[in-house]
Structure 1
């Protein structure tokens, strides 16, 4: 069977009759052996895995929760937008490896319909939602990697007796195909067995289920509930309701604030505040949102939760640095190591891939200028180095390639030798 038969329909099934591929909501499917398990029935019905709160949780329902959507968008966006540097070490220098076989698929065109950022965003989303991201490696002449095709359907991974892996992919038409390890780019999240990654969605299912049910409850309140700010009550009867309404209109609006209200006929004015149950409901929604942020590793302030204190630093900049260091760096390393294992040719050990986070760590203009000045003063940056970091062209005629040296700094051994040459009685270092 040819490599493109993986995506062809068997039996001439029309496109409109094919099943749409479903994204597995959790890696826990692999641990279910009983087909009567209710989670299997829910999954086959397309509802996703149920939660104790009663709401089925799948990628589509989870992303309807604002916090989960924003957390996934932030992580996926960081992976998609940051540059992926493909370099080659040549002695002490590092140069762009634009002749590498992985340059085109990672930086130009991974497949006929996706841009590099779209491909990276989809693969990262699969890791978050499923625990694993798979792409078929399509090779052309001389083994050159031509395309990377994301495999969104269900995938089973089995370890063979020689410790290699075999992938069984379920196509959109329901047919299964076996793919060798060397033909798969496998992004694997945190794992318990080293083979299957753990889904963030699968382990956050209960928290997200509570949030989904809270949203439904709130929607029902807006649809069917009543909300009044004040109540007028009396033990008797109101003679003229219309006149009473007209009188109350004179006290509405900011221009009528703090006027004296005169009630007649035994009427009492009672203000209706939020009940303890309402206050607890609001608090629980905030707690649930914070817990979702914890599962994804996203600081709450990045999704709009600004009431919580943090120990990462006193400013937004420090909290952003903590997010890059403790969350994104883990995902960067996953990408870099997977590309090295599955895509990088073994006969090119000088080649390496690095996701450059400098764009996320970029300080304000004042801080950058001060750091550039220090680098220039002490001689580890040239003018062209600084201009490159600011995405500007080098200075003409190579005048920006000079490295400066502070006039009061020199080699200590050379200074001692010069002193001894002028004063034979001066102390020397040994």
Structure 2
């Protein structure tokens, strides 16, 4: 652990590097290259709507926050198992592998496995990359220390090996070889760096932020009136002051809540219907939510949009859930499994691999889960003890839980076989 103290626990440098440690108050990214500096000077993350969009600010949008929460929560809560390949058709549990303790019990000294996976997946969704430093002792992995993507720069050397530069809070840079970094990569265009979804969805998110600010300002300042008071003549200063005081008391609520407004001097009130601008504003908010859902790969109904705009995902909750698992979640699960095999399992260990238990996705659906178990038992896929293990139960105490049932209607069963030329046996 002295390595961790040397990298993360040393005293602050007296002359920090401002170009490496600079970040804006909203999070932003560290300015490490001339291209990043030029982009920051030209736009600073600004959009055509006028809103500045960074990964942290994007979370202020309900659709972005909900998408990140749903996807990262699914990855965090799904059981992650280590398996060992015995032969071409046989697999066994490999929880005794040293990596099993790190992945399933204690990734580091302050995080639980679900916290670690949720944070890494959130980094992956918001920035396209997620990093963790691999801490080894006597050749075995002891910890995975998460590194913020904004403080990590990944480069590929001439020998095609990757090298990572981590910028500490005091501005000092630490070089890490590829063997010491667990790197999750999202959609990539160069095979090295993940593409940030926020960068491409910036205009949609900026529009959503601008509309939310517009709505909040409207309600704060009461800019949109719901009715008009008309006077048959001219209202004097004293009458105007009295009317303004009466309206302020009426709008303040309290004892006036629900009471009628009394008008004097022949005044009349005319209600105003919703304007076309108001209706367009509501429609734009719905469109913005659907647009962000498309970028993040989440059915709009899972984000609270029940307008029927996600019919392509299916016609029922079950079909939409299956579409979300097949076309969105499966991509991230595969990324985790293959990255673990590449970075955390020794290259000469060809038998051990990581696998998410996707059957846990139907844990909350008791009917579907048990229907699947029954079919698995009938067709000899599962034994009773294997079903009990999936439910976290002990084997059958009578010792008969390990047997497999013969599939029904199987051709060539004992009822159709001949015995030394005799007639086929008939069922009793």
Give the TM-score normalised by structure 2.
0.83
**Counterpart in the other structure of 1:107:** 104
| Deviation at residue 398 of structure 1 after TM alignment | 1.4
Q: Which residue of 2 aligns with 1:218?
A: 215
The answer to whether the Cα contact below 8 Å between 1:135 and 1:149 also exists between their aligned partners in 2 is yes
- Pairing of 1:173-212 with structure 2 (within 5 A): 173-212=170-209
**What residue is the counterpart of 2:290 in the other structure?**
290
Alpha-carbon shift at residue 350 of structure 1 (Å): 1.1
Distance (Å, rounded) in 2 between the aligned partners of 1:117 and 1:253? 48
Q: Does the CA-based 8 Å contact 1:21-1:172 persist in structure 2?
A: no
Change (3 A) 1:168 1:324: same
Aligned to 1:96: 93
SS at 2:418's partner residue? helix
Match of 1:73 among 65, 69, 73: 69
Pair 228,136 (structure 1): closer, same or farther in 2 beyond 3 Å: same
**TM alignment of 1:3-402, pairs within 5 A:** 3-4=3-4, 5-9=6-10, 25=28, 33=35, 35=37, 37=38, 39-40=40-41, 49-91=45-87, 92-141=89-138, 143-152=139-148, 153-236=150-233, 269-309=269-309, 310-362=311-363, 364-402=365-403
Alpha-carbon offset, residue 59 of structure 1: 2.2
RMSD of Structure 2 on Structure 1 (CA): 3.6
Q: Hey, what's the Cα distance between the residues in 2 that align with 1:79 and 1:111?
A: 18
Aligned to 1:259: none
Asked if the contact 1:26–1:199 (Cα under 8 Å) also holds between the matched residues in 2, the reply is: no
Return the offset for 1:10.
Answer: 5.1
Aligned-residue offset at 1:75: 1.0
Per the alignment, do residues 265 and 278 of structure 1 end up closer, same or farther by CA in structure 2, a change over 3 Å counting? same
Q: Secondary structure at the match of 1:102?
A: helix
Query: Secondary structure at 1:119's aligned position in 2?
Result: helix
1:254/1:175 CA distance change after superposition, 3 Å? closer
Q: How many residues align?
A: 405
Residues 59, 104 of structure 1: CA spacing in aligned structure 2 closer, same or farther, 3 A cutoff? same
User: Is the Cα–Cα contact under 8 Å of residues 124 and 133 in structure 1 kept in the other structure?
Assistant: yes
CA 1:308 to 1:123, structure 2 compared with 1: closer, same or farther past 3 Å? same
The question of whether the paired residues in 2 share the 8 Å contact of 1:110 and 1:147 is answered with yes
Deviation at 1:217, TM superposition (A): 1.2
User: Alpha-carbon deviation of 1:129?
Assistant: 1.7
More deviation, 162-171/305-314: 305-314
Unaligned runs of 5+ in 1: 43-47, 257-261, 425-430
Task: Supply the distance in 2 between the matched residues of 1:403 and 1:21 (Cα, whole angstroms).
Answer: 61
Shift of 1:276: 0.4
Answer with 224-233 or 146-155: which moved more.
224-233
Query: Counterpart of 2:123 in 1: which secondary structure?
Result: helix
Check the 8 A contact 2:164/2:178 in 1, yes or no.
yes
Instruction: Measure how far apart 1:271 and its partner are.
Output: 2.1
**How far has the Cα of 1:359 moved from its partner?**
2.0
Q: 1:289 to 1:110 in 2, by over 3 A?
A: same
Contact 1:137 1:184 in 2 (8 A): yes
SS at match of 1:374: helix
Q: Is contact 2:75–2:121 with CA below 8 Å preserved after alignment?
A: yes
User: For residue 428 of structure 1, what is the aligned residue in structure 2?
Assistant: none
**Distance of 2:281 and 2:321 partners within structure 1:** 30
Distance 1:86 1:99 in 2: 9
Cα 1:10–1:370 shift into 2, 3 Å: closer
Query: Is the contact made by 1:170 and 1:177 (CA closer than 8 Å) also made in structure 2?
Result: yes
Distance 2:36 2:131 in 1: 26
Query: For residues 33 and 263 of structure 2, what CA distance do their matches in structure 1 show?
Result: 69
Write the distance in 1 (CA, Å) between the matches of 2:155 and 2:259.
Answer: 73
Q: Secondary structure at the match of 2:210?
A: helix
Task: Decide whether aligned partners of structure 1 residues 125 and 349 sit closer, same or farther in structure 2, where only a CA change above 3 A counts.
Answer: same
1:427 is aligned to none
User: How far is 1:255 from its partner?
Assistant: 12
Unaligned 5+ residue runs, structure 2? Answer: 251-255
Kindly tell me: are residues 298 and 11 of structure 1, through their superposed partners in 2, closer, same or farther at Cα, counting changes over 3 Å?
closer
Distance in 1 between the 2:336 and 2:356 partners?
A: 8
